[in-house]
Amino acid sequence: MVKEIERAGIPVVHVCTVVPISLTVGANRIVPAVAIPHPLGNPALSAEEEKDIRRKMLSKALEALSTEVTDQTVFDWVTV
């Protein structure tokens, strides 16, 4: 789906847990996620901490969308 959106001419960032799959399939802008059942959250944290992580990841996603890339690029955000 990422590729079809890209093909339509809309820049797209893929936030996903299993980065190797995203790379194989061919996403260009990739932000690694937390875990498969909760990619943009972490139930082990408090509600505030969890939201903080989500803000960090999405800030990274916005940064990815604002960055020119020529090849597949993984935009890592700092995990604990």
The span from the CA of 14 to the CA of 41, in Å, is: 16
* Cβ proximity to other proteins, 12 vs 74, nearer residue: 12
Residue whose CB is less far from other proteins, 67 or 78: 67
Binding site for other proteins (CB under 8 A): 1-18, 20-22, 24-26, 28-29, 33, 35-41, 43, 50-51, 54-55, 57-59, 61-62, 65-71
Query: By three-state DSSP, how is residue 78 classified?
Result: coil
* 11 or 78: CB nearest other proteins: 11
Burial class (CB in 10 A: 0-12, 13-18, 19+), 22: buried
